[in-house]
Structure 1
């Protein structure tokens, strides 16, 4: 009953348990080292007392003095003459090359023989067809010759047509003499009173012509839907030194020689097209061209490139030069 009680005490005090486990480990290690030392002291004595199973073999060394060669290179006689032989691999490669050449020649011969066999087969087919045609012609001739010739020698009597009676008619003079003379009957008399009079058609009185259909002098323009500019998509929110740029679009309305003509053109275009150009801003850019200044008129901004195409298409109907571009 004391062992479980001790185990519970050790569980409650882990530090004491660790110390005891450490002491136990050191005791086991000390016992192991003692056993190893005892075996090291006792093993050499036992090995020395054992007898050798195999006797030692000794080889006698040659007597001291000059060393002479035992090879046959120094003496060139008929019996021990030597020579350098070629490389066996080289011979094998030459043999393989020769074999490959012969194999290639054999393949060429086989190919030529195949071609000859095909050519002879085609000639045989043609000759067979010619012989068959000749046999058929000979058989046809012999069949015609064997036909009985009696039918060809019998005379053919012409068929006699039955005799038809000839009809005779009297001469025209006799017909006129025998026929009674008839006189034409007089035409009936027509009275003017009996002839029907043409009915008179009453015509309308002369007056100014009335219009029954009207064609306008100028065809009315197509009713196009009102143009609505696309608003900007989303909002730009940024932080830091870098700036996020957005591309705006515009329409180019032409190049002008001076700023006055450009301003007058812009005012006239805005008055004529208030729905398209009324809310747009004007941009003027100048450029040097051949020692003269050219002024370019652009209007914008548009947030969608498709809107510039729509505006240019509608201005083109009024013969106004328009070109989509970038708003700067």
Structure 2
């Protein structure tokens, strides 16, 4: 029996043609939405009120931007974790994580309610079982939380902070972990979502205030909305491009979903069919998202 679901239609926010758009995040202090183009080593800042786009070019691949407590950014790069001032473009390294970055880089991540940064790593070509998920807190050691992952992607928390949701894309699963908010410890709970093959690979994720999970679908031509209690898809944002990479709620009311996409790995004929690949899309889904936590260092 086919489960019915709501269909949403997105529009283009910015026609960027990014190689690998990723990591959209709403920065409430700056009233701006940030995202990155990993392969172009670039951070974008979209001024929400004035609809102006600013770009910041870096020297390393940058995969993640999260707001910091002082209004700046904490970013993850091929090289470690750093603080970035979007007003001056000053970059200050925090840690190289003690890793060899020759053929690895950071990928997706997020901050939890206590300001800890959770970040996944991966081999540049996504070699299986060659990445890990780490947690870093202010004045604390770097801790490995999940081992031997392939393409580490979305991380998000339930509204009550009792559960952490995580996806390693090649598994096509979103895994639920019991989460101890005080210690940051996690323990396996269950497979919350199993994404069917025809929907592509699960990439970045976001939670809304109703407890539903939004999953960007790499190769799935859209973003899906899932009921976490049943594991069933209940909504779908249709996109005119195949590779959705991440999504985040943005705006004062967190009532708009910003979606990054990519053109990496697409042939000339593919790009002729899907010229909007790499653009940034936006949709009003009729529900608000949960706010992003700020980094505590």
Which TM-score band (shorter chain)?
under 0.3
TM-score, structure 2 normalization: 0.16
Q: Which has a greater percent of helix?
A: 1
TM-score (norm 1): 0.15
- Give the number of the structure with larger relative contact order, counting CA–CA contacts within 8 Å between residues 6 or more apart: 2
Whichever of the two has the greater Rg, that structure is 1
Structure with the largest fraction of strand: 2
